[in-house]
Amino acid sequence: MKQNIELLVNKIIREAKISSSPINAERLAESYFGLDFDCGKLNETELAGLKVTEKKIYINESRADELAANIGLKNFTIAHELGHWALHRDLTGEHTPQIEREADKFATYLLMPENFVRAEFAKFNEHRLLEWLPTDMKVSSLADTFRVSYTAMKIRLSQWELNLIYVDFKSGKCYLSKEEFLEITTGQIRLF
Ligand SMILES: [Zn+2]
């Protein structure tokens, strides 16, 4: 399924003629998917929700300020709802953890397409000064460029064999493993 979601997202990116970062999920929702936005009362644990029959993404009114103050969180939240629209709009019933994971994957691929991120990452090595940036600053810089959270970018980078990320001798920062890099202590980490 993972591969299929990424292929689907890449097709959407091509069809929507997106050629540079950052990818604005809100704009894409309106221009490509034909979805509208509204505010409403939702469960406190939810930031937003999709109402398929109305073709609307509802932002939880009690958490709207939180989203407005955090562009990375907002972009990912909307992209997650776009994932539900693209993948699950014909499903009925409860949203299972698997469905939520699929929507998170959709959002990850949509906001941080592999070729876009790799191209930006390569820029660090093209500039002598940037090459010496500590790894954490590279992650921060990419997160800003793509308008996603630091953690979301870290997870995305960890999906590829970018050795610089794990072991950065030049800055003195050395990550011994992917787990240490991601700061995983127990169980699963959250995307934001
Ligand atoms: Zn969801």
Summarize pLDDT for 100-132 with one digit per residue, the tens.
Answer: 999 999 999 999 999 999 999 888 878 877 777
Cα 100 to averaged position of ligand 1 atoms, centre (Å)? 5
The contacts found for 48-51 with CB under 8 angstroms, 24 or more apart, are 48/77, 48/78, 48/80, 48/81, 49/81, 50/81, 50/84, 50/85, 50/89
Fold classified for 2-111: Arc Repressor Mutant, subunit A (1.10.10)
Position 192 pLDDT exceeds 50: no
> Do the Cβ atoms of 26 and 123 come closer than 8 Å?
no
Distance CA(143)–CA(137), nearest Å, equals 10
Q: From CA 8, how far away is CA 3, in angstroms rounded?
A: 9
Quick one: tokens of 156? 């995305």
Q: Tokens for 154?
A: 């870290």
CA of 46 to the centre of ligand 1 (A): 8
Can you tell me whether residue 113 is helix, strand or coil?
A: coil
Residue 23 per-residue DSSP state: P
Ligand 1 ion: residues within 5 Å (CB): 100, 103
Q: How far is the CA of 80 from the centre of ligand 1 (A)?
A: 6
Using DSSP's 3-state secondary structure scheme, residue 142 falls into helix
Instruction: Give the global pTM.
Output: 0.86
Residue reference for tokens 């890449």: 10
pLDDT in tens, 123-159: 887 887 777 777 788 889 999 999 999 989 988 988 8
Report pLDDT for 122: 85
Structure tokens at 16: 């929507």
Return the pLDDT at 158. Answer: 83
Question: 48 alpha carbon to ligand 1 midpoint, in Å?
Answer: 8
Domain positions in the chain:
2-111, 114-181
